[in-house]
Amino acid sequence: MIQKLLRGVVNQHAQDRDAELYQNLIRHEAKIGGTVFGEVPKGHRREFFCLDRHTWVWHEEWVDQSGQQQIRTTRYDVRPDGLLKSQGGSYQKVSNEETIRFKKAVRIYADRLNREMYNNAIAV
> Domain locations in the chain?
2-116
Q: Using CA atoms, how far apart are residues 69 and 81, in angstroms rounded to an integer?
A: 36
Paired sense of beta strands 69-79 and 90-93, if any = unpaired
Query: How is residue 38 annotated by DSSP?
Result: S
What is the reported pTM?
0.76
Paired sense of beta strands 90-93 and 55-63, if any = unpaired
Confidence category of residue 41, pLDDT binned at 50, 70, 90: confident
| Residue-wise pLDDT tens digits, 60-76 | 999 999 999 999 999 99
| Residue-wise pLDDT tens digits, 83-106 | 999 998 889 999 999 999 999 999
